[in-house]
Amino acid sequence: MTIENISCNKSFDGWHKQYSHFSKTLNCQMRFAIYLPPSAGVNKKVPVLYWLSGLTCTDENFMQKAGAQRLAAELGIAIVAPDTSPRGDDVADDAGYDLGKGAGFYVNATQAPWNRHYQMYDYVVNELPDLIEELFPVSDKRSISGHSMGGHGALVIGMRNPQRYRSMSAFSPISNPMDCPWGKKALTAYLGTDESTWQAYDASLLMRKATDFVPVLVDQGGADDFLVEQLKPEVLQAAAKESGYPLQLAIHQGYDHSYYFISSFIEQHLRFHAEYLNK
């Protein structure tokens, strides 16, 4: 696998690096960021937290705004943040911010023109971890987290692949995309009008039917403008109650959808994941 280093910055005695590579899964050039704690080295492989960002974001938002590096360095956890969609002049796009570039929704598209590039589910689950584990001093101990659209992706991927992830978490996830405007628009475009094909990408439905559990932590801001119409954490909570899923869900009054919220609670999420990654 060939990758190109774009940037390199020392941070809390570890290294934040950006790379570009050609993705066979997505059929385009992709970018990702990785934070390697100081304990990662030739004789030491560290566990990895995969972070999936939300609508309009790239690999840079979390790494620059969340303030996760200090504690990741202390806990000895690498963090990998991919882009949120395929990119390039020949990649299909939409005029809206909630479809196309920056809005891959972490699904495998089946509908033209999206299916040529938009295979983000397979990229995050298979191709990217294979690349990371081959080229960097990391182990196959993985956890996954994300925000908003990325929270949806983290929950779906974690529940569909319980053997691959030690834990999962989300900030303000799109919990029930089959029944919200963002989700309906994206799933219709990427998967078609047959709603039965959407079910594999709905976290609440997956949680309701789950029998193999992955520990999960979800935090939601009570002053989030998208709370009622788009995010629907109460549906996720009801699903967990029905199946007995070990969901820890908290609503934090006064917090919105921004990285001010994420940075306020990222320490709890990192410590939550470290409990399972470092076992």
pLDDT digits (tens, 9 = 90+) for 61-113: 999 999 999 999 999 999 999 999 999 999 999 999 999 999 999 999 999 99
CATH of the domain at 40: 3.40.50.1820
Active site residue 148: yes
HSE of 278, CA atoms in CB hemisphere, 13 A: 12
CA distance 79 to 51: 7
Number of structural domains (the chain) is 1
What is the Cα 55 distance to its own chain's centre? 11
Write out the H or E segment, with its range, that includes residue 122: helix 120-122
Per the residue annotation, which of 85, 143, 148, 172 is the catalytic one?
148
Active site residue 89: no
Amino acid at 251: I
DSSP state of 108: B
What rounded mean pLDDT belongs to the chain? Answer: 97
Active site residue 252: no
Per the residue annotation, which of 167, 224, 269, 273 is the catalytic one?
224
Per the residue annotation, which of 152, 257, 269, 273 is the catalytic one?
257
Report residue 27's pLDDT band, with 50, 70 and 90 as the boundaries.
Answer: very high
CA distance 225 to 181: 14
pTM equals 0.97
Domain of 209 in residue numbering reads as 3-277
DSSP string, 143-199: EEEEETHHHHHHHHHHHH-TTT-S-EEEES----GGGSHHHHHHHHHHH-S-GGGGG
Residue 245, pLDDT score? 98
Q: Which pLDDT tens digit goes with each residue over 220-237?
A: 999 999 999 999 999 999
